Chains A and B, each alone.
Chain A
Amino acid sequence: MPLLDVRNLRVDFRTVAGIVHAVDGVSLSLEKGEIMGIAGESGCGKTTMALAVPGLLARNATVPGGQIIFDGEDLISKSEDEMRTIRWRRVSVIFQGSMNAMNPLKTVGSQIVEPILLHEPRTPRREAEARAEKLLDSVGISKKRFSNYPHEFSGGMRQRAMIAMSLACGPDLVLADEPVTALDVMIQAQILELIKVLCSELGLSLIMISHDLSVLAELCDTLVVMYAGRVVEHGRSADVFREPAHPYSARLMNAFPDIYGERVFTSGIPGYPPNLIAPPVGCGFYERCPERLAGCESTRQELSETSPGHWCSCLYPRRDKEGGGIING
């Protein structure tokens, strides 16, 4: 049984302009110990989809359909009180802006102690503090900095502390929302390495969201590519990178220069994602797709298996067209 099984999830946002269908029928499943990457441009629904799992959506969001089955239980039908016991203890989040995600008036240490005491109120304070110190140590922060304030930390250290915080209650699943965006390359590499080590040591299951495919390539076992609120491709990381089946994934991958490859300049993906207030009838990528063919505009292709374990929602997956994996830039 997978640890997390999202089935046909839909999330809407009520806005002044109308109802935005931010997540429009997403299904995916995550095994215990798996590291999954979710990639896509801003506004593709990746963060919304992930934050729906611990029920951390904005107030104007509604979930009109779908199931989020976590460890055998549907989280959508749970009450706010029940969710509160699951949040952080079972599912925790590493947020993007680590400065905003911390209270500037409390020490870093006490902010790690807080969730421990909240979820295990019988823990003596000393013991919780000792655990927090150990957590800081495991993310590479000396316990001398336990009583420092967030502003005394550098960006990289804050992100480390954020990771320690997310691990405080020994969660089964960690959601990392752009954990290394806005950090320097060397610090990025450090943090990714840290996440990798922690995942293998603790047997964590992790969903990592990033607009930067190259970051996901480093770390993830499986890769999900989202576009316009839907999953367009899903498969083992190595397969997706080697032979992207959806034209969008292929172009997204091509947008990153590969210093060991040819120095060819790619054209990017001209155009803009569709308006999600009135999503297109057929393929969401139709407007921008250079490989579109007859039927793409009107047929909404569901995910189908193009090779074992590799799913794609293109009516004409690249494999059929070109005999696999050749990207025409």
Chain B
Amino acid sequence: MADLMTIDELSVHYERRRMGGCGRKVRAVDGVSLSIRRGEILSVVGESGCGKTTMGKAILNITRATSGRIIYDGIDLAKISGAELRAMRRKFQMIYQDPYESLDPRQSIYDTLLEPLLIHRRDLSSVQKRDLVMSHLEAVGLRPAEMIAARYPHHLSGGQRQRVAIAAAIILEPDFIVADEPVSMLDVSVRSEILKLMLDLQKDKDLTYMFITHDLSLAWMISHRIAVFYLGRMVEIGGTEEVVHRSTHPYTNALVSVIPTVGKKMRGERHILAGETPSASEIPGGCRFHTRCWLYHDEGEPEICRNSEPELAEVADGHMAACHFKLIPSRDQQAVFDVAERLSKPAPTLNPLGL
């Protein structure tokens, strides 16, 4: 599968000024390399402050990256002019978490959807633009389109607003969409409708998604690959089943272990990490996870974890983790979860959900 976008050593650092004192350097994203394949859903999972949203925004050039390269379809985005970049913007779009904040309260739904066309599709006649707006409202399930178009955001429910935000994101026919927790503000019953819409659109319009979420089980549900972030770094990446059921990094393992299992027995040892994620302005030396790592503790606090930062290394085909002591699936998980049984099923293909 071809790569749509390659991110190379991307970093976003900034100074946080405190009152009176001098600034402290915050390393929100700290040297992330990642490639996104055309047509895939890549979930970026991590707790708040792990840099996942900042990275998404840096990729879309909403936040300026401190260093690193972003190569889209063979073009280095840092090397093109401002005007070219603006024109390029129609190829990447973002869907935000809070549908109450991401729509202009004084703009009608029609104007909200028309705006991207006014900026990028000056070639269209006004009738064509109108048709596009209406057909996109229908495409996201907002019917009757004529009626919804005349409304303002405050007339709509959270789910409907999120549909509008999705329509506004796809109306320019982008290739790549960063979706930042698009369902976490919505009621449970509405969530799956919005997710289903996003997945349907992905299939119809050949989209690539970067799906940013804190919810590993949700990521498991919808994505082809999962990347796990901790304190500005990617600690593990791989196929969805691999990452969830054969996690190699102790942090991923802990995240999997705290997923509540609705009505079922827990499968294996729970690792509730003590304490809280350190601040991105005070990243621990060595492996940045060692201060909370249960494996570091189990291994007798080896020096290497305190002294050197592990690089991502391949543990299986396409599955990489950044840990000096990679978990061997047989050691921790095979006993409690029958990997063999799972792996005997056909490997997940693209669009595994049968949508």
Contact = CB atoms under 8 A, between A and B. Distances in A.
Direct contact of A and B (CB under 8 A): yes
B276 interface: yes
Interface stretch (B11-19, B29-37, B185-193, B317-325): B185-193
Contacts of A187: 276
B340 to A, nearest CB: 15
B189 A258 contact: no
B344 interface: no
A42 B186 CA distance: 10
Contact of B272 (A189, A212, A214, A253): A189
A186 B273 contact: yes
A188 B215 CA distance: 12
A217 interface: yes
Contacts of B337: 260
A184 B49 CA distance: 10
Contacts of B216: 185, 259
A186 B255 contact: yes
B348 interface: yes
A265 B196 contact: yes
Interface string A269-296: 1101000000000000000000000000
Contacts of A269: 189
Nearest to B194: A268
Given A41-B187, A186-B254, A263-B221, A272 B262 contact: no
B259 A270 contact: no
Contacts of A241: 262-264
Contacts of B195: 265
B220 interface: yes
A211 interface: yes
Contacts of B48: 184
Interface residues of B, number: 46
A265 B199 contact: yes
A262 B259 CA distance: 16
Chain B interface, >50% SS class: loop
A188 B258 contact: yes
B47 A212 contact: no
Contacts of A267: 192-193, 196
Contact of B196 (A189, A251, A263, A268): A268
Interface in B244-273: 244-245, 254-256, 258-264, 267, 270, 272-273
B350 interface: no
B218 interface: yes
Interface string A236-253: 001011100000000111
B276 to A, nearest CB: 6
B61 interface: no
Contact of A251 (B187, B189, B263, B272): B189
Nearest to A270: B193
Contact of A185 (B215, B262, B263, B348): B215
A265 B192 contact: yes
A186 B355 contact: no
Given A184-B48, A265-B192, A266-B192, A214 B214 contact: no
B193 A268 contact: yes
Contacts of B245: 259
B217 A259 contact: yes
A280 B171 CA distance: 39
A280 B295 CA distance: 56
Q: Which of B220, B256, B263, B277 has the most CB of A within 10 A?
A: B263
B157 interface: yes
Nearest to A186: B273
Interface in B267-290: 267, 270, 272-274, 276-277
Given A185-B214, A241-B263, A263 B353 contact: yes
Nearest to A252: B188
B352 interface: yes
Interface in A42-82: 42
A248 to B, nearest CB: 9
A269 B186 CA distance: 13
A266 to B, nearest CB: 5
Contacts of A260: 261, 264, 267, 337
A171 interface: no
A207 interface: no
Given A186-B254, A212-B188, A269-B189, A264 B353 contact: yes
Contacts of B196: 265, 267-268
A127 interface: no
A215 interface: yes
A242 B265 CA distance: 11
Contact of B262 (A184, A214, A264): A214
A317 B199 CA distance: 33
Given A185-B47, A257-B217, A211 B188 contact: yes
Contacts of B189: 41, 251-252, 255, 268-270
17 contacts: A41-B189, A156-B276, A184-B47, A214-B259, A214-B260, A218-B260, A256-B188, A257-B218, A258-B217, A258-B261, A259-B216, A259-B261, A263-B220, A265-B221, A268-B188, A268-B189, A268-B196
Given A256-B262, A259-B244, A263-B220, 9 more contacts: A156-B276, A185-B215, A185-B255, A189-B270, A217-B261, A242-B263, A252-B188, A255-B189, A265-B195
Q: Which 8 A-B pairs have the closest CB atoms?
A: A241-B263, A268-B192, A269-B189, A214-B260, A189-B258, A257-B221, A184-B47, A257-B217
Interface of A: 41-42, 154, 156-157, 184-190, 193, 211-215, 217-218, 238, 240-242, 251-253, 255-260, 263-270, 272
